[in-house]
Amino acid sequence: MAEILIDTYFCSNCMTCVELCPEVFYFNEDTEKIELTSINPEITEDVRQAVAYCPEKCIEIKN
Ligand code: SF4
């Protein structure tokens, strides 16, 4: 099963992924980091868009 990894070290909290795919990505106000809404989200076209448009290239889909 594919997994989505976010390298929060490189993430700039630009919110692009949240805007493109709020079903899967959200900003956790407590940790101040982007997190996933579920452990095994479906890899939809919106997820792929978020990966493609992340300016820091810090979202990875791992198979
Ligand atoms: S698009 Fe990339 S850099 Fe921007 S908030 Fe999402 S993970 Fe972070």
Instruction: Locate the ligand 1 atom nearest the alpha carbon of residue 56 and give its number.
Output: 3
Give the pLDDT score at 42: 95
Return the CATH architecture of domain 3-62: 2-Layer Sandwich (3.30)
**Is the distance from the beta carbon of residue 43 to the nearest atom of ligand 1 less than 6 Å?**
no
Q: Looking at beta carbons, which pairs linking 19-23 to residues 24 or more positions away fall under 8 Å?
A: 20/46, 20/49, 20/50, 20/53, 21/46, 21/47, 21/49, 21/50
| Residue with CA closest to ligand 1 atom 1 | 54
Give the pLDDT score at 47: 98
Q: Which of 25, 19, 28, 22 is nearest to 59 (CA)?
A: 25
Give the pLDDT score at 2: 87
For the segment 2-59, what is each residue's pLDDT rounded down to a tens digit? Answer: 899 999 999 999 999 999 999 999 999 999 999 999 998 999 999 999 999 999 999 9
Q: Say how many Å lie between the CA of residue 31 and the centre of ligand 1.
A: 15
Give the predicted TM-score (pTM) of the model: 0.95
